[in-house]
Amino acid sequence: MANINFTKRDSFGSKFGIIAATAGSAVGLGNIWRFPYVAGENGGGAFVLIYLGFVFMIGVPVMLSEFTIGRRAKQNAFGSFKTLAPGKPWYLVGLMGIVAAFLILAFYSTIAGWTLEYILQSLTNSFSGKNSAELKQSFETFQSGTFRPILWQIIFMGLTGWIVFSGIKNGIEKYTKILMPLLFALIVVMCIRAVTLPGAMKGLEFLFKPDFSKITWGVVLEALGQAAFSLSIGMGTLITYGSYFNKNTNLATTAVQVSMADTFIAILAGVMIFPAVFAFNLKPDEGFGLVFIVLPNIFEQMAGGYIFSIIFFILLAVAALTSTISVLEVVVAYFVEELKISRKKATVIGSVAISALGILCTLSFGNLGDLKIFNRTIFGVFNDLTANIFLPVGAFLIVIFLGWFLGKKIITDELSNEGTLRIKLLGVFLFIIKFIAPIAIALVFLNSVGIVNFS
Ligand code: TRP
């Protein structure tokens, strides 16, 4: 038991492995399912512009802060705060992250499970011959079912657990190094198909031409929430991954590269979806069902649709998987290091507990649909609670911790790898994490929960 502290902690083995795993965490359903529909509902181009602003002004600094905490402490999210701030209540931020991981994975695995069903439906050519009403109907029938969506969710959690159980180097790194290039290749193929559709231009215009009259505080909040969710910041995923980086990893470059990769893939997802939506005269603001209803409709009508539908849903599942493992790892690292149980036990307990919670989310589209808390289904509560409350509050506290508590010496040591790297823009970074990021997050957050009102 006690020897856990003496056994060597697992870590990533290579620079590419670090980027693949961390970008794998960031790139997920948030990019390919959520980004296009949120952008679609919030007016397209103008939303995208604000989103980009948040990614670089706030996302990168928060990500870098998490890496700094994780690599310094070399502990799980909870243990990292305990190590860096002994005797202080900062560990609560870590604890909040662990709870957030449970909630996020519970609802995320519902959607991830759907992607598996849709791979199967693509393979069996079941979109063929259906009109849009029928496709919508068949999505709703599946989604509100009991056995099938739960089974898929459990299978997805099983896959996630399998990879996490195998460890950092031999599990997470090994698989993301294969899956991320695959994902990138698939998305490029899909983009080429989309932009060569007749009428594609209108979709690109929707995505890139900002219409500033569409901007409201609601849109600004959505953009911040989307940026936080998409970059996996605010709940300790990146603290946990950062704790597996090695001592010569350049934290700042890694944060910039991962954020750029994540943003690039989100934009590519838009490029693959909107031209197709407009080419087939469909609506960009379908919301939630955008990829499960609108896209099958497109595949049904498009030349080569059978193949492209298979590619697309595999892409979606792969993206989801490299993210779910990062969320489960937060929980598993905590169990292993704080409760001193084996990785195997921790993975089983974590996956089972999360699946149990996840089943409630899955059923909230069906049998439990009438169960409302704060006027939301269980799925809605988990989704809103994490994206709009836990993540912004977590991100806020993380930058405050770094900017006002940890001290400049530790930050400089970490960013310069103990003085071996030249650090540029240190002043800018410190200014952002001390002032800009916390103030911006607080304003947007307080406005959104209605404590202050700008609109
Ligand atoms: N970023 C992932 C996505 O876009 C989801 C995700 C993984 C996440 N880890 C997270 C979201 C931590 C918030 C916090 O799909």
Q: For each of the chain's 455 residues, which pLDDT tens digit applies?
A: 444 444 579 999 999 999 999 999 999 999 998 898 888 888 899 999 999 999 999 999 999 999 999 999 999 999 999 999 999 999 999 999 999 999 999 999 999 999 999 999 999 999 999 998 999 999 999 999 999 999 999 999 999 999 999 999 999 999 999 999 999 999 999 999 999 999 899 999 999 988 888 888 878 888 988 999 999 999 999 999 999 999 999 999 999 999 999 999 999 999 999 998 888 888 888 777 788 998 898 899 888 999 999 999 999 999 999 999 999 999 999 999 999 999 999 999 999 999 999 999 999 999 999 999 888 999 999 998 898 889 999 999 999 999 999 999 999 999 999 999 999 899 999 999 999 999 999 988 887 776 666 55
According to the model, what pLDDT value does residue 382 have?
A: 93
Asked if residues 104 and 384 have their Cβ atoms less than 8 Å apart, the reply is no
Determine how many CB atoms are found less than 10 A away from the CB of residue 205: 14
Q: Which two tokens stand for residue 252?
A: 């700042």
pLDDT for 2 equals 42
Q: How far apart are CA 132 and CA 282, in angstroms?
A: 10
427 burial class (0-12, 13-18, 19+ CB within 10 angstroms)?
exposed
Contact (CB, 8 A) for 336 and 348: no
Residue nearest to atom 12 of ligand 1 (CA): 232
Neighbours of 443 (CB within 10 A): 16
CA-CA distance, 109 to 115, in Å (whole number)?
10
d(CA 346, CA 43): 43
CA neighbours closer than 13 Å in the CB half-sphere of residue 16: 8
Query: Which sign, positive or negative, has the C-alpha torsion 76, 80, 86, 89?
Result: negative
CB burial readout 358-393, b (16+ within 10 A) else e: bbbbbbbbbebeeeeeeeebbbbbbbebbbbbbbbb
Ligand 1, CB within 6 Å, residue ranges:
25-26, 28-31, 104, 229-230, 232, 235, 237, 323, 326-327, 391
Q: Is the separation of the CB atoms in 245 and 18 below 8 Å?
A: yes
Q: Is the distance from CB of 152 to CB of 274 less than 8 angstroms?
A: no
Give pLDDT, residue 451.
66
What values do phi and psi take at 126, rounded to 5? -85, 0
Phi, psi of 234 (to 5 degrees): 95, -5
DSSP letter for 285, please. T
SS3 280: coil
Q: Which atom of ligand 1 is nearest to the CA of 33?
A: 15
For ligand 1, atom 8, the nearest C-alpha belongs to 232
Interval between CA 231 and ligand 1 midpoint (Å): 6
Give the position, in ligand 1's atom list, of the atom nearest the Cα of 230: 4
pTM of the model: 0.94
Partners of residue 376 on adjacent β-strands: 373
Distance between CA atoms of residues 266 and 207, nearest Å: 11
DSSP H stretches of helix in 10-90? 15-26, 29, 35-41, 45-54, 60-73, 77-84
How many Cβ atoms are within 10 Å of 281's Cβ, its own excluded?
Answer: 8
Query: How far away, in angstroms, is 26 Cα from ligand 1 center?
Result: 6
* C-alpha 320, offset from chain centre: 8
Q: In 124-236, which residue ranges form alpha helices assigned H by DSSP?
A: 132-143, 147-165, 174-195, 200-208, 217-231
**Which pLDDT score is estimated for 40?**
86
**Ligand 1 pocket: which of 229, 239, 318, 331 to mutate (most atoms <8 Å of CB)?**
229
Tokens of 29: 């359903």
Bridge partners (DSSP) of residue 373 are 376
Beta bridge partners of 202: none
175 Cβ partners below 8 Å, 6+ apart? 163, 321, 322, 325
Q: Are 243 and 80 in contact (CB under 8 A)?
A: yes
Measured at the alpha carbon of residue 360, what is the angle toward residues 120 and 35, in degrees to the nearest 5? 60
Is the sign of the CA dihedral 126, 109, 286, 305 positive or negative? negative
Write down the residue that tokens 């946990």 correspond to. Answer: 240
Q: Is the Cβ–Cβ distance between 199 and 278 less than 8 Å? A: yes
Choose one of 323, 386, 390 to mutate for the ligand 1 pocket test, by most ligand atoms within 8 angstroms of C-beta. Answer: 323
What is the Å distance from ligand 1's center to 24 Cα?
A: 9
Question: Which of 62, 104, 238, 324 maximizes ligand 1 atoms within 8 Å of its Cβ, making it the mutation to test the pocket?
Answer: 104
Q: Which CATH superfamily is domain 15-448 in?
A: Amino acid/polyamine transporter I (1.20.1740.10)
